[in-house]
Structure 1
Amino acid sequence: MAVNQITASALVEQLGGQLRGDDVTITSITSLQQAQAHDISFLSNPRLRSEAIASRAGILIVTEKSAEALAGRSLIVTDDPYLYFARVARLFHPRPQSKAAIHPSAVIAPTAQIAASCEIGAHAVIGEHCVIGENTRILAGTVIEENCTVGNDCIIHANVTIYHGCQLGNRVELHSGCVIGADGFGFAWDKQKNEWFKIVQTGCVVLGDDVEVGANTTIDRGAIENTIVEKGAKIDNQVMIGHNGKIGAHVAIVACTGIAGSTEVGDYTVIGGAAMIGGHLNIPPKTTIGAATAVSHSIKESGYYASIFPLQKHNDWVKNAAHIRHLHVMSQKIKALEHQLAELNGNSSNQQD
């Protein structure tokens, strides 16, 4: 249930932290710039400390270190203000609950098992032998093909497509336009006919508990084995995950990333936006891959990896690019010069002897 207002002391009693200053009544959470007397805001980036000092917020969520500069203000002191902010925001804006109703325009196969507590939106389609768990919301225009399983407390937003046989755990959230379980890109070349022959994709997609998938993201089904996204993984908008891949638990993948087939990404890995990751690779747990990084081979040791060419003026880039094109020739010249230098040094040493 949404909170309309709450005192700072009640908030601390519920979420933890340490209250300093007056016990303020809080009616909303907002930014440092827009906050007013009954609003709560937060400071997690020390570079914004001056904005926090100038803020009209009734109370601020801060670290112990930042609290010193804000003495005399009403504060909630905590180790992680950003996480605390997220929890406060959830109190004021909880996830909508199922209405436990089926819209008359929904099309549901007679063999589908739909929990009575589910909400099925207008023009949704649910195929044969599907099983939909308790309190799950399937919103307008979504299509769930035959033999799919959707767990409890899931939210499937409008116009999502889930292909046949896919399995979703509990509390999964799929945003509009995402496609789960489309065919992987698998073809064999037929030399006799001089054309591609499509490989049947017989696996499915398995999403673990608490997985969230962003708008217009696609996760392909496996060719033989399943494509797996393990519990707690968070996948942003417009991400592509190829067939037979395995995304570990609590991985975070930012928008526009592409991961080719049969690649395994270890638990707690973070992948920056627009990263391009090749197929049949292994990325170890707790690895960070920078935005726009191209990964063409497996990573053997966890760490922070990036291959971004720094931003520069166009004229400078053109000059540097000209040198980059000739790196191989330059390398050969350097090797030749080193060889000549070694010969000269050798001759000089022989003469001294």
Structure 2
Amino acid sequence: MSVTLAFLAEELDAELHGPGDLTVTGLGTLASARGDQLSFLANPRYRSQLETTGAAAVLLRADQLEHCPVAALVVADPYMAYARISRHFDTAPAPAPGVHPSAVVDPSARVPASASVGPNVVIEAEVVIGEGVVIGANTVIGARCEIGDGCHIWPNVTIYHGVTIGPRSIIHAHCVLGADGFGFAPGADGWTKIAQVGGVRIGADVEIGAGTTVDRGAIDDTVIGNGVILDNQIQVAHNVVIGDHTAIAGKVGIAGSTRIGAQCLIGGAAGLSGHLEICDRVQILGMSLVSRSITEPGTYGSALPVDKQDRYRRNVARFRHLDELHRRVRKLERDAGE
């Protein structure tokens, strides 16, 4: 798509410096943008790239305007402005409405004419599909699921029975929503499986990355709040609750029945034990292990940063003696107090 700077300025309520009829056809970084592309400067550290950019125009703050050699759109938050207009240049094809001949749709399912159902899709009994929903090839939607208006489900997604997804949510390829939680009772003869009778409830405007799994609840539902964004390859166990507008990076594992508050940020590869309470507005750094509840907002971390191998090995060896050292210090303190 091509748009004029005047069109973008009106959409963003931006102050335009340059010709309004100048057309841009794509996005680029300050260093790589061509003469028909739009770029942005959000971090002043890249100002040197701004001064030499080949872009047609740049989104920037007013205090950087004097360094811009090309047309500019002055906004308060360039990165947010870039995010808002990026949809105009999305290269993903727009599927046409209709049901592909190879799709299998149960007669009791409700699929509106505005929906797009791709090749080899399976839609089981009593499913309700909203207006304008896109369902990619080879996706399976289990019985009694509800998919809200405007959702986009990419290819090869598996949605088990009894899953509800709110409007405008995006589910990327190879997600599994509603698989059984890890519920088993130990006994003398081994493990007895516990039927997972809950469902999964996903709110509005949620995005779930490729390969992420969200298990169904053991009794109550697993719940993902409105505006939550989940990265690729995350494990959300049964009966987890994630509050509105929380963001979780890739490879995070969340054990069963943990409740995460609203507007939290969880870094990649962090692990959260089960049955914890994480309050609102908590940031957990990448690769942290959370084994206790967090009751106060703030930033938390537990992982050791990378170090030279010889020093790391010495510190690991010393770490093994911490308990012994603690007991010796306590004894010395008691002896000194006598």
Which residue in 1 is equivalent to 2:37?
39
CA contact (8 A) 1:98 1:136 kept: no
Structure 2 letter corresponding to 1:171: R
Structure 2 letter corresponding to 1:181: G
CA contact (8 A) 1:97 1:135 kept: no
Q: How does 1:1-353 map to 2 (within 5 A)?
A: 4-23=1-20, 24-70=22-68, 73-93=70-90, 97-191=94-188, 193=189, 195-343=190-338
Structure 2 letter corresponding to 1:328: D
SS for the counterpart of 1:114 is coil
Structure 1 letter corresponding to 2:158: T
After TM superposition, give the deviation of residue 97 of structure 1 in Å.
4.3
CA contact (8 A) 1:184 1:243 kept: yes
Structure 1: how far apart are the matches of 2:43 and 2:166? 35
After TM superposition, give the deviation of residue 174 of structure 1 in Å.
0.7
Show CA shifts across 1:238-273 (max 9, x none): 000010111111111110000011111111111111
Structure 2 letter corresponding to 1:212: E
CA contact (8 A) 2:50 2:67 kept: no
SS for the counterpart of 1:292 is coil
After TM superposition, give the deviation of residue 39 of structure 1 in Å.
1.4
Structure 2: how far apart are the matches of 1:12 and 1:289? 37
After TM superposition, give the deviation of residue 82 of structure 1 in Å.
1.0
Structure 2: how far apart are the matches of 1:340 and 1:51? 65
CA contact (8 A) 1:183 1:221 kept: yes
Show CA shifts across 1:27-56 (max 9, x none): 221111211222110111222111221211
Structure 2: how far apart are the matches of 1:176 and 1:60? 33
CA contact (8 A) 2:42 2:77 kept: yes
Structure 1 letter corresponding to 2:282: T
Structure 2: how far apart are the matches of 1:7 and 1:130? 43
Structure 1: how far apart are the matches of 2:133 and 2:119? 15
Aligned length: 337
Structure 1 letter corresponding to 2:49: E
Structure 2: how far apart are the matches of 1:331 and 1:7? 68
SS for the counterpart of 1:11 is helix
Sequence identity percentage: 42
SS for the counterpart of 1:256 is coil
CA contact (8 A) 1:118 1:136 kept: yes
Show CA shifts across 1:165-205 (max 9, x none): 111111111111000000000011123x2x11111000000
Show CA shifts across 1:9-41 (max 9, x none): 221111222222444322221111211222110
Structure 1: how far apart are the matches of 2:128 and 2:37? 43
Structure 1: how far apart are the matches of 2:272 and 2:64? 39
CA contact (8 A) 1:239 1:256 kept: yes
Show CA shifts across 1:258-294 (max 9, x none): 0011111111111111110011111111111111111
Structure 2: how far apart are the matches of 1:36 and 1:307? 44
Structure 1: how far apart are the matches of 2:93 and 2:278? 36
Structure 1 regions of 5+ residues with no counterpart? 344-353
Report the RMSD for the aligned CA atoms in angstroms. 1.5
Q: TM-score, normalised by structure 1?
A: 0.92
Structure 2 letter corresponding to 1:25: T
Show CA shifts across 1:55-87 (max 9, x none): 1112111123333433x5422121211111112
Structure 1: how far apart are the matches of 2:305 and 2:233? 24
SS for the counterpart of 1:288 is strand
